[in-house]
Structure 1
Amino acid sequence: MKRALSIVALVALPLVALAPPAAAVPVTVNYACQATALGSTYPATLTQPVDVSAPASVTSGGALSVVIDFQSASIPATVGSFTLVRVQNLTFKVPVPANSTYVSSSLSGGSGVGATNLTVSGGVATLTAAGPVPGGGTFELPTITLDLTAGAPGTIQTSLYGTSFADPGLTATGVVRVPLLGNVTVPASCYPSPNPALTTTTVV
């Protein structure tokens, strides 16, 4: 992701296309979660540390990248009074920031989450991870890089997706062990609470 540019190449690049280097900002995202099992709902929380970077400023029409670098997080060992066996089929969403145009995206790194994929549709980037992650285990989602073109003068803000359990930004399927019934599938939905802007880029 880092390129060494010669002085000649740097001078040859149009200045309007350059954004100052971005510094990663560590953020702890708190998700409110709700799992449903056997006709009952169970509240839970998930804390996700993440380093987010975007340039401080960019010219209108210039290129910029937003990088969401997930750090290790933990899966709860229980859901309500039930033992959580594993979590699978995770999805994580991040909107393409307003006042920007999507160009391309990529994934890198990650561990303990199985096969991953990233798609962008309707202004939302969706990361999927097949899992499984064992209950009580740790995992790290891959880093998401969104390559964008800046819009009109103003600001571009990075935030996460999700406003409620009905409009979640993070979903997963849990498998819990229930006495006498064995393993039971438990869908879970989460949204960031609170959900402030994580980065702000000034467009000039």
Structure 2
Amino acid sequence: MKCALRAGIGVLAVTAAVLTFAPAASAAAFDITYDCQADTPLGAENLTLNQAVEATAPASVAPGGALDVVVDPAPNQVPSEAAGYEVKEVNTFTLKVPVPTNATLAGVDLTGGSGLGPNPPQWSEAGGVVTVTFDGPIAGGASFELPTITAHLTAGASGTIESTLYGSGYDDPGLTFTAVVSTFLGDISAPTSCFPNPNPVLTTTAIG
């Protein structure tokens, strides 16, 4: 079951994963590693997951100027089984990303993506943190692609704008979802909490 949950999470991990920010410089590729813990009737399952993404942002911006930071997650697939157990689906995703210091958020666009369920992803912002959610479900064995996430920012007066992911521990996660796995106990729903470990700087833009 551990492998099943790992696969289900890794596929989404970034789930969309990774909402950072976007445009006019060469893309940088990252393999994001999330440290995750699933709460199951059999006890806590600790696991890691990886998700490839590309992130772009301008190298510099004028004080008070507009800039985009874009994160484009790679396509992925939910496994149909793991450790001898059927992966039935993964659902109820939440991904958090902090608004960078020295910048304010003007808006977020979620574009593209496929196989994420009948309801499109949504975003909201509170307390300097952007939260992206989507319901799923994504069935075991199904292919999917998370949406490209573009954050529209306004630069501050000076300094550097660095985009990162959110999360510092299982009690302060940046990514959550639920995996449903068929086991000898029946179907198990395993709420899972993840945080990036390490938490890389995805883009850097100098103000000036």
Partner of 2:191: 187
SS at match of 1:51: strand
Question: What's the CA shift for 1:133?
Answer: 1.6
Q: Distance in 1 between matches of 2:82 and 2:96?
A: 23
Unaligned 5+ residue runs, structure 2? 1-22
| 1:105-138: CA deviation from partner (whole Å, max 9, x where unpaired) | 1110011112211112211111112111223444
- Rg (Cα) greater in structure: 1
- The residue type equivalent to 1:129 in the other structure is F
Partner of 1:60: 63
Q: Write out aligned runs for 1:66-145 (5 A).
A: 66-75=69-78, 82-114=85-117, 115=119, 116-145=121-150
Percent identity at matched positions? 47
When residues 81 and 40 of structure 1 are mapped into structure 2, their CA distance, relative to the original with a 3 A threshold, is farther
Q: Write out aligned runs for 1:160-171 (5 A).
A: 160-171=165-176
CA contact (8 A) 2:175 2:195 kept: yes
Which of 177, 180, 183 in structure 2 is aligned with 1:175? 180
- Is 1:24 aligned to 2:27, yes or no? yes
Of residues 132-141 and 83-92 in structure 1, the stretch that sits farther from structure 2 once superposed is 132-141
- The residue type equivalent to 1:84 in the other structure is V
CA contact (8 A) 2:24 2:56 kept: no
Matched length: 184
Q: Distance in 1 between matches of 2:116 and 2:40?
A: 23
TM-score normalized by the length of structure 1: 0.83
When residues 94 and 175 of structure 1 are mapped into structure 2, their CA distance, relative to the original with a 3 A threshold, is same
Unaligned 5+ residue runs, structure 1? 1-19
- Is 1:35 aligned to 2:38, yes or no? yes
Q: Distance in 1 between matches of 2:196 and 2:143?
A: 19
Q: Distance in 1 between matches of 2:149 and 2:81?
A: 29
CA contact (8 A) 1:90 1:131 kept: yes
Q: Distance in 1 between matches of 2:141 and 2:45?
A: 17
| 1:7-56: CA deviation from partner (whole Å, max 9, x where unpaired) | xxxxxxxxxxxxx9222211111111111111501122221111111110
TM-score normalized by the length of structure 2: 0.82
Q: Distance in 2 between matches of 1:168 and 1:93?
A: 8
SS at match of 1:44: strand
Partner of 1:199: 203
CA contact (8 A) 2:116 2:134 kept: yes
